Chain A
Amino acid sequence: MKEIVRIVIAMLVWLAVFSALYGLEGVGCAAGWHRIPVNGATLFQAAMTIAFFVALLILVAVLVALRAPRFRSASPFVAHISIVLAVAALIAGAWTLFPALALSHCA
């Protein structure tokens, strides 16, 4: 069972941060954050930018953890798949969440 967790965890975390940013966008737009100025930008832009980097940081942490001796699988097969998927999750995070930097408005 632990091996299955190692295999699915990275993509599961991607799904969680992806949903979280999508949810944050919904909440931010509903609460009118895009109308609150912060340092030349808006609160909404600030929140989405920070969230983007936090999300990537989490995905990097998962990758590092899966490579660390403490969490790494003893089976080379599972270790390989789990690390490939952690890299994939990181790339997926950067690619799918990139709009958080580029398009932070509520139209």
Chain B
Amino acid sequence: MNALARHRALSRIWSSEPGWRGVISTVNHSDIGRMFLLVATLFFLIGGVLAMLIRTQLATPHSAFVAPAIYDQIFTMHGTVMMFLFAIPLFEGAAVYLLPKLLGTRDLAYPRLSAYGFWCYVFGGLMLVFAMLAGLAPDSGWFMYPPLSSSAHSPGVNADFWLIGVTFVEVSAIAAAVEICVSILKFRAPGMSLDLMPIFAWYALVTALMILMGFPPLILGSILLELERAFGFPFFESALGGSPLLWQHLFWLFGHPEVYIIFLPAAGVISTVLPVMARTRLLGYRWIVAAAVALAFLSFGLWVHHMFATGIPHMGLAFFSAASTLVAVPTGIQIFAWLGTLWKGQPRLTLPMLYIIGFFFTFVIGGLTGVMVAIVPFDWQAHDTAFVTAHLHYVLFGGFVFPMLAGLYYWLPQFTGRKRFFRIGEMAFWLIFLGFNGAFLAMHWVGLLGQRRRIAWYPEDAGWTEINLMSSISAFIMAIGVAMVVFDIALHALLAIRGSRNPWGAGTLEWAMPTPPAAYNFASIPIVGDREPLAKDPALANKIARGEYFLGAPRGDLRETLTVDAASGRPEALVIFPGNSTLPIALAAATGAAFLGALIRVYWVIPLALLFVVGLSLRWGWSQRQATHSGLQNVGRATLLPQAIETDRSPGWWGSVFLLGADTVLYGSLFFGYAFLWTVGPNWPPPQWLSLSILELALGLIGAAAAAVGLQAAARAVSRGSPPSLGVLLALTGVAITIAALAMTLTRAGQLTDYAYGATIFVMIAYALIHAAIAAIMTSSLAYRTWRGGAARPRTSNVNIVRLWTDYAAFVAATSLIATQFSSYLT
């Protein structure tokens, strides 16, 4: 088969459907990535328009532009859109589009999950856009502090839009994060050991792990606050044993890492682009990886620095102040590695390089003002002033938007296959750079003069008028620059002439393919022996196209790729991907219906929607594609590998591990909340404790143990080749008993609106109950497979996945029962 015939065959196998159907049924990572990037850019423009409205309002004192009630919606939506609907999704889009190309594989681990995440994002984003158009947008600031956001002070539906819409969008972030982790660890080109991974993959891996650790506290917080708003569970109400500070803890447990979740991918772009622009290799690869990991973890020990002004004991403040100053070190290591790379190389002043210089200038200033506000006494002065907004924009705009623009112009030829022709970009850069600094340098200044953030009006005699006007004019100059970038890109995509394949002379694999890329990425899956394979072997692209490597011979209509051993990159298994499908969009719509039901408070919709979610999920799990015959498969180059679903640890197992990791963080946050209210919350102890019921406890523990033991037996039976009937039966019985025990405890949680204690117990037990239900559904599906037998009979990989979930459910049931049943003894 020659290269052209191979290209035709693979294109037929991998292509999405033509026309609009292709949009809703595509599961291809390039399509989904492009759609993600497009929608995220639209949200950037929406957020930008809102920013211009803010600056219009603040340009003059006592502005007649909008009244405070509307202004509150505008700045809240600006912050919310930028953080949740622009920055995170833009990272997801970039990762979804780029990772398989960088890693030398044909798609991400779970193509349908990418599509599902994308549609959740779109539907959740639409909810918020609708709220804005209807004038019902959230208005309590992007961090939604209760009691301002509680129903007493925000009675309308505005805050609910935030809590429910943002949580829905976060489902998509979690989905993407699981996908990114498994793809990076398992879906790489053979030979690509951990130390040969492109640096962007390291950053994406660290970022995805951070999303899995950082988002669950906010998801929990949003659920609790929505329960308080909708049903009066008083988690955040001091008078009833709750505490508004609990929200601040949960929010910033997410919120600070979020800042680094935004910065790290941008740093990944810089680490990728900068060496190419300097015509050299990245200096200090190992140190950069270590710095990124250190930064990720340190950022989880900083959250209280957003709460310096809340009256926390001094020692606590000192812990977090010390940790906050410490993050400057790994950040500094990266910056010095970049400077060293520039020093070592021969930099050329291209457009991406210009944006990187813009990044250096702005981000370093943002970092320095960050160290300033990390010092408690300074923060007490600057807290809630425009100084803080100025600081955060230097970090976010400087540390994210500039690098992403560098990345945009760097990968543009890869995207379109065209050569940059129009020279609007350079002028746009200068407008953005000067406009940005004019706008926000001025905001530091008025902030120090005492201008508070989030104010619609300020007095004429405060001496802020000229500074604000200057800031607003600069902001509009920046906006013109952004508009010019959009115009430049549109012209480029439509009119520019075709370019060569690797215009920058880069060494990573995304340039070893024809551009714009084909749906299958690589005609054969290359063997990698260098961090910059293309630099080492310039003929690589042709060899790939000639099918000289793995999977160069297309089979039937199978979308095939390889998985590797996570550490060494040794090929491990053959993966057969699912084809185009509308299942993801349908599942996202069903998920959205459940969220919508909660939003409009038509609660019968929720169970109905969840029924659809379960049904569609089961179909999803059942419609795995596989090769025509089982056993070892020929993957080319005289290599035989098993099919991934016939191994013990299929991709689904890996995904479950990461998802359960995030779930554990959510559960841990719930425990944190329980302990927090207990020790720090005002108005504790509650008037009445939950009394100990030996029966419930014993049933719950026995049931949980039986479920775990049963599935262990089932796994052993399957690996012996016999049907696992007995084990599955034992597990089902165990799960049923656990559910009964939990349900009994749930009914005794007491009057939930009276006191935060009862409400917390209720949530903990309900969480356990939900997981027991999931275990029940999964075990039943296993039972069904066993009963059907034949081709449907469960494999080790199936049992292992069910085991993970059931063991987790058992663990949760046992711990939540112990923590609640004994509470009256713990006082």
Judge whether A77 and B195 touch: CB under 8 Å. yes
Interface string of A20-49 (1 = CB under 8 A from B): 011101110111000000000000000010
Using CB atoms, name the residue of chain B closest to A21: B319
CB < 8 Å: which of B318, B330, B676 contacts A103?
Answer: B318
Judge whether B313 and A25 touch: CB under 8 Å. yes
Judge whether A15 and B300 touch: CB under 8 Å. yes
Q: By DSSP majority rule, is chain B's interface helix, strand, loop, or mixed?
A: helix
Judge whether A27 and B679 touch: CB under 8 Å. yes
A-B contacts counted at CB < 8 A amount to 104
Residues on the A chain within 8 Å of B209, using CB: 8
Take A4-B185, A30-B680, A75-B194 as given contacts and tell me if A96 and B322 are in contact as well, using a CB distance cutoff of 8 Å.
yes
Cβ of A80 under 8 Å from chain B: yes
Judge whether A11 and B193 touch: CB under 8 Å. no
Cβ of A68 under 8 Å from chain B: no
Judge whether B194 and A15 touch: CB under 8 Å. no
Residues on the A chain within 8 Å of B567, using CB: 1-3, 75, 78
Using CB atoms, name the residue of chain B closest to A76: B195
Judge whether B286 and A15 touch: CB under 8 Å. no
- Docked Cα-Cα span, A96 to B313, in Å, equals 16
- Docked Cα-Cα span, A99 to B286, in Å, equals 32
- Docked Cα-Cα span, A21 to B289, in Å, equals 28
How far does the Cβ of B619 sit from chain A's closest Cβ, in whole Å? 30
- Docked Cα-Cα span, A102 to B290, in Å, equals 30
- Docked Cα-Cα span, A84 to B567, in Å, equals 19
Judge whether B314 and A26 touch: CB under 8 Å. no
Take A23-B675, A75-B194 as given contacts and tell me if A88 and B290 are in contact as well, using a CB distance cutoff of 8 Å.
yes
Residues on the B chain within 8 Å of A88, using CB: 290, 294, 330
Judge whether B193 and A75 touch: CB under 8 Å. yes
Interface string of B285-326 (1 = CB under 8 A from A): 011011001101110110010000000011110110011001
CB < 8 Å: which of B185, B313, B322, B330 contacts A29?
Answer: B313
Using CB atoms, name the residue of chain B closest to A34: B313
Residues on the A chain within 8 Å of B319, using CB: 18, 21-22, 25, 96-97, 99-100
8 Å CB interface, A60-107 against B? 75, 77-78, 80-81, 84-85, 88, 92, 95-100, 102-107
- Docked Cα-Cα span, A97 to B679, in Å, equals 21
Q: By DSSP majority rule, is chain A's interface helix, strand, loop, or mixed?
A: helix
Judge whether A1 and B195 touch: CB under 8 Å. no
Judge whether A3 and B566 touch: CB under 8 Å. yes
In this complex, the interface size class of chain B, counting residues with CB under 8 Å from chain A, is: 20 to 34
How far does the Cβ of A49 sit from chain B's closest Cβ, in whole Å? 12
Judge whether A7 and B293 touch: CB under 8 Å. yes
Using CB atoms, name the residue of chain A closest to B294: A88
Judge whether B290 and A103 touch: CB under 8 Å. no
- Docked Cα-Cα span, A57 to B293, in Å, equals 22
- Docked Cα-Cα span, A4 to B194, in Å, equals 9
Judge whether A1 and B300 touch: CB under 8 Å. no
Using CB atoms, name the residue of chain A closest to B668: A19
Residues on the A chain within 8 Å of B195, using CB: 75, 77-78
Judge whether A18 and B323 touch: CB under 8 Å. yes
- Docked Cα-Cα span, A77 to B297, in Å, equals 20
Judge whether A4 and B318 touch: CB under 8 Å. no
Judge whether B322 and A84 touch: CB under 8 Å. no
Judge whether A95 and B326 touch: CB under 8 Å. yes
How far does the Cβ of B665 sit from chain A's closest Cβ, in whole Å? 12
How far does the Cβ of A43 sit from chain B's closest Cβ, in whole Å? 15
CB < 8 Å: which of A7, A22, A105 contacts B314?
Answer: A105
- Docked Cα-Cα span, A29 to B315, in Å, equals 11
Residues on the A chain within 8 Å of B314, using CB: 103, 105, 107
What are 29 A-to-B residue pairs whose CB atoms are below 8 Å?
A: A4-B185, A7-B293, A8-B209, A11-B296, A15-B300, A18-B301, A18-B323, A22-B316, A25-B315, A27-B679, A75-B193, A75-B195, A77-B193, A78-B195, A80-B286, A81-B289, A85-B293, A88-B290, A92-B323, A92-B326, A96-B301, A96-B323, A99-B315, A99-B319, A100-B315, A103-B318, A105-B314, A105-B315, A106-B313
